[in-house]
């Protein structure tokens, strides 16, 4: 089979493509706005889906096991109590810290 590659056929194809391009370009602003609305809708959908998701029991237990409980050495606590009992300056500092813990 021989393909028809005559100049008239190429010209009509070129003219068709140019006409299609002008039609698409004419509505380019509309296409851009529709694209933005679609992306915005997708993001809102994903946020809503993530907001309603809750962790499973196994995820909760694994996170609780991974969390370390703070440990204070009893010897240090005893030393701080004895320091507070024997020094007036330290006792004043402790009293101020108890009355206003967020003051530096």
Compute the distance between CA of residue 90 and CA of residue 74 in angstroms, rounded to an integer.
Answer: 19
Domain-embedded: residue 60: no
Express each pLDDT in 8-64 by its tens digit: 666 687 888 888 888 888 888 998 999 999 999 999 999 998 888 888 888 888 888
Compute the distance between CA of residue 98 and CA of residue 31 in angstroms, rounded to an integer.
Answer: 64
Domain-embedded: residue 1: no
pLDDT at position 15 is: 84
Three-class DSSP category at 64: helix
Q: What's the domain count of the chain? A: 2
Domain-embedded: residue 65: no
Which domain does 79 fall in, by range?
A: 73-104
Domain-embedded: residue 24: yes
pLDDT at position 38 is: 97
Whether residues 49 and 79 share a domain: the answer is no
Residue 61 contacts residue 51 (beta carbons within 8 Å): no
Domain-embedded: residue 37: yes
Compute the distance between CA of residue 4 and CA of residue 70 in angstroms, rounded to an integer.
Answer: 84
């Amino acid at each position: 089979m021989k393909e028809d590659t005559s100049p008239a056929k190429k010209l009509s194809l070129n003219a068709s493509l140019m006409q299609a391009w002008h039609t698409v370009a004419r509505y380019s602003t509309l296409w851009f706005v529709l694209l933005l609305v679609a992306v915005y809708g997708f993001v809102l959908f994903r946020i809503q889906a993530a907001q309603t998701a809750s962790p499973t029991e196994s995820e909760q237990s694994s996170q609780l096991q991974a969390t370390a409980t703070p440990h204070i050495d009893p010897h240090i606590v005893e030393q701080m109590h004895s320091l507070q009992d024997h020094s007036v300056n330290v006792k004043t500092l402790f009293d101020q810290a108890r009355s206003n813990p967020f003051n530096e």
